[in-house]
Amino acid sequence: MIESIWDQFLAIIKQEAGSRVVETWLKVIIFERWDAQKNVVYLRAPNTFVQQWVSNNYLPLMQFHLKRLFNVSDINIVFVEQENAHQKSESSTAVIPACRISEPSTAVVSANVLVPVEMKHTHNHIKQGYGFDTFVVGPSNSLAYAAAHAVTEKPGLLYNPLFLYGSSGLGKTHLLHAIGNRIKQLNSKAMVVYQSTDRFINEFINAIRFDHVHKFQNKYKSVDVLLIDDIQFLSHKEQTQEAFFHIFNILYEFRKQIVFSSDTEPKGIAGLAERLRSRLEWGLVADIQVPTIETKIAILKKKADLNNEHIDDKVAHFVASHATSNIRELEGALIRVSAFAKLTGQPITVEVAKRVLHGESPVPRHLINGEKIAKAVCSFYSYSVADVRSGKRNKDLALVRHIAMYFMKRFTDHSLQEIGNFWGRKDHSTVLHAINKVT
């Protein structure tokens, strides 16, 4: 009876405040007991951090709905101290009942409980193939390159923090990995951590849920170099910003090197606490612009050399002129031309590049439509169009759907939204992601 009331309460909060609030904060709260004589609800939080956050942010909301559910005019909410909770149960607060949370990727299921896996220091996310020697420097990125190289010579002392920003696919991530690789070469004992902001947020949420906040904090406070990619995704993540703010202060105070990347400058990131925004601007802010045609040609030549291939200046100029948005598009164009030439046994010429990049088709464009493409692609992979349109999250079905979206955009005049509607009212950003992924 009482537990069902708590479940009803969680369902109400999910509708009113959103599933993120419930999944992150309230599902880890354990309902201890209800004192009907004193109108007191006793709850237990996995740690002090969660208790304080819930009390400061959701206590009035909890009181309002619990009063109605328990049918009382007034109610008090009391959090049980961890010491008392230990006396009532042999399990520690780090072990959370499986019925209270969904199984995360960082947990092991055993005896009906979820035991969090211990966090470990790691720099394994750094890609070994990304170095300064493979980064092509031009007028559009020379400042960012010079600053990135400089911080490897004097980590924590020069340009700290370093903030690199620019549009997607221009080389920001390459420079972050290059910094990490270079510092590891100079000092193999240095603790270098590269982390995407998405992973940082998920790691923080799991740390809260499994009472590993102290391990989470210790992990990042003990690093020598912290490389954070796509910091703009901290936007509107208030609790994660708070945690990161304190980590930043500790690292900065002890002169540990911090490097950020973003798709916009610090003042352009909406939903960022002002005190955190100011710290992002403390060091050097360097932008990366779209490369010039000369830099694009140099990049193509470098990529071809790394792949033991040769392209002449005319082909490089044509491909560079065709790919206008970013370096990823440039590399993708080179890969398509090179692959087509190999598969057909032809040399890489301007004519071959034109055929591949202009999407010339033996079938007149007006005879191709989205439905025909869908049927052809689904038939090739032995699926029905209905299965692929169902929106199931099966990886194989998703791949087929992405490939069909790519061909529909390439060989028809359909807009992204029209393609999305065909595949079950998918958002245009989903279609764009699919096209970029297949490309």
Identify whether the C-beta of residue 133 lies closer than 8 Å to the C-beta of residue 276: no
Asked if residue 257 and residue 162 are part of one domain, the reply reads yes
Residue 108 covered by a domain: no
Residue 215 covered by a domain: yes
What's this model's pTM, rounded to 2 decimal places?
A: 0.56
Asked if residue 303 and residue 158 are part of one domain, the reply reads no
In whole angstroms, give the CA distance from residue 255 to residue 384. 59
Asked if residue 314 and residue 278 are part of one domain, the reply reads no
Asked if residue 188 and residue 78 are part of one domain, the reply reads no
Beta-strand ranges (E) seen in 247-299 are 257-262, 284-288
Residue given tokens 């949370």 in the structure block: 101
State the greatest distance between any 2 C-alpha atoms of the chain, in Å, as a whole number.
87
Given 261, 288, 315, the domain boundary residue is 288
The mean pLDDT value for 87-104 works out to 33
The mean pLDDT value for 392-396 works out to 78
Q: Edge to edge, what strands does the sheet with 113-116 contain?
A: 96-97, 113-116, 107-110
Say which CATH number the domain at 136 has.
3.40.50.300
The answer to whether residue 107 scores a pLDDT higher than 50 is no
Asked if residue 266 and residue 176 are part of one domain, the reply reads yes
The per-residue pLDDT for range 287-301, each reduced to its tens digit, is: 998 888 888 888 888
In whole angstroms, give the CA distance from residue 225 to residue 414. 47
In whole angstroms, give the CA distance from residue 23 to residue 128. 36
Given 288, 316, 333, the domain boundary residue is 288
Asked if residue 300 and residue 284 are part of one domain, the reply reads no
Residue 106 covered by a domain: no
Quote the mean pLDDT of the chain: 81
The pLDDT of residue 124? 53
The per-residue pLDDT for range 185-204, each reduced to its tens digit, is: 999 889 999 999 988 998 89
The answer to whether residue 46 scores a pLDDT higher than 60 is yes
The mean pLDDT value for 368-393 works out to 84
The pLDDT of residue 367? 62
Asked if residue 75 and residue 57 are part of one domain, the reply reads yes
Identify whether the C-beta of residue 58 lies closer than 8 Å to the C-beta of residue 21: yes
The pLDDT of residue 90? 37
Residue 87 covered by a domain: yes
Given 36, 65, 94, the domain boundary residue is 94
Asked if residue 159 and residue 63 are part of one domain, the reply reads no
Residue 275 covered by a domain: yes
Asked if residue 299 and residue 234 are part of one domain, the reply reads no
The answer to whether residue 113 scores a pLDDT higher than 70 is no
The answer to whether residue 102 scores a pLDDT higher than 60 is no
Q: How many domains does the chain have?
A: 4
Residue 118 covered by a domain: no
The answer to whether residue 284 scores a pLDDT higher than 60 is yes
* Residue 413: domain span: 365-438
Say which CATH number the domain at 49 has.
3.30.300.180
The mean pLDDT value for 88-106 works out to 33
Residue 125 covered by a domain: no
Asked if residue 257 and residue 188 are part of one domain, the reply reads yes
Say which CATH number the domain at 418 has.
1.10.1750.10
Asked if residue 372 and residue 351 are part of one domain, the reply reads no
Asked if residue 271 and residue 309 are part of one domain, the reply reads no
Beta-strand ranges (E) seen in 208-272 are 225-229, 257-262
Residue 370 covered by a domain: yes
In whole angstroms, give the CA distance from residue 343 to residue 339. 6
The pLDDT of residue 20? 66
